[in-house]
Amino acid sequence: MYTILGIFVVSALVGWVHYEAKEKTIVAFGDSLTYGFGDKGDEGYVDKLESVLNQKYETGPVEIANYGIVGQETNGVLKQLESSETRGEVRKADGMIVFIGTNDLINSNGGDLDNLQEAKIHEGKEDYRRNLTSILNALREENHSAPIHLIGLYNPYPGNSEIEGHINEWNALNKKLAAEYEGINFIPLNGVFKNKSKAEYFSDSLHPNEKGYELIAWRILNDSRLFRESF
């Protein structure tokens, strides 16, 4: 009887260890904001999300593969997804993050957000819509079930109502596209820096510092039940 009980206990422990060791993976696509530019350790919100997920969940370690590239636009993400290796990582992923569009918006206006040109920004938004649709299609083609978390844009100049209007329009597009797919979760980010000191939370006019990225990470976690429960 003791032998049988011992075998049962050992088997249970082996199964528990195996269960605990199962690693969950998330792939994150984006630009310098996903890369973590401005954080002294270049870790950004991705590393902070990974740390919290590993501390919170007991079903196994979580690793986030960061595909963010400084200066990248949506067409750059599409180019990344042409790689069979990248598509293979998407295929195996337990979750995906897409946080892209800031450079599309800025570059459509000539490389900055001064003297906003309505027609050019509108044209840029149409290119963004086409590219983002292609990105979401490509991700779903490779992985039919893993949740995709589409992160909205934020206004780095929250006091500027004209820029705010364009950010809201692009976010409305993000939200609409997310609603057209099953398992795509739109996470609004705008307003995260409202009434926050630029000197305290930013490394430059656009990129957050370590404290700023921490705000983004917690907004993603706290404002999205689906994100917290999907891994």
What percentage of the chain carries pLDDT values higher than 70? 85
Q: How confident is the model at residue 227 (pLDDT cuts 50, 70, 90)?
A: low
Protein fold of 25-229: Rossmann fold (3.40.50)
Give me the sign of the Cα torsion angle 134, 144, 77, 44. Answer: positive
Domain chopping of the chain, boundaries: 25-229
Which has the higher per-residue pLDDT, 223 or 13?
223
pLDDT tens sequence across 116-148? 999 999 999 999 999 999 999 999 999 999 999
Which one is predicted more confidently, 154 or 229? 154
Tell me the average pLDDT of the chain. 88
Most trustworthy range by pLDDT among 4-8, 31-35, 42-46: 31-35
Section 145-159 average pLDDT: 94
Confirm if 137 and 155 have CB atoms less than 8 A apart: no
Residue 15 has pLDDT above 80, yes or no: no
Kindly state the helix (H) or strand (E) to which residue 116 belongs, with its residue range.
none
| Structure confidence by residue, pLDDT tens digits, 85-117 | 999 999 999 999 999 999 999 999 999 999 999
User: pLDDT grade, residue 28 (50/70/90)?
Assistant: very high
When pLDDT is averaged across residues 60-73 and rounded to a whole number, the result is: 93
pLDDT reading at 31 higher than 60:
yes
Residue 153: count other Cβ atoms within 10 Å of its Cβ: 22
C-beta of residue 167 within 8 angstroms of C-beta of residue 154: yes
Residue 32 is predicted with a pLDDT of 97
Give me the phi and psi of 169, to 5 degrees please: -65, -45
pLDDT of residue 113: 93
Angle at which helices 118-142 and 161-179 cross, to 10°: 30
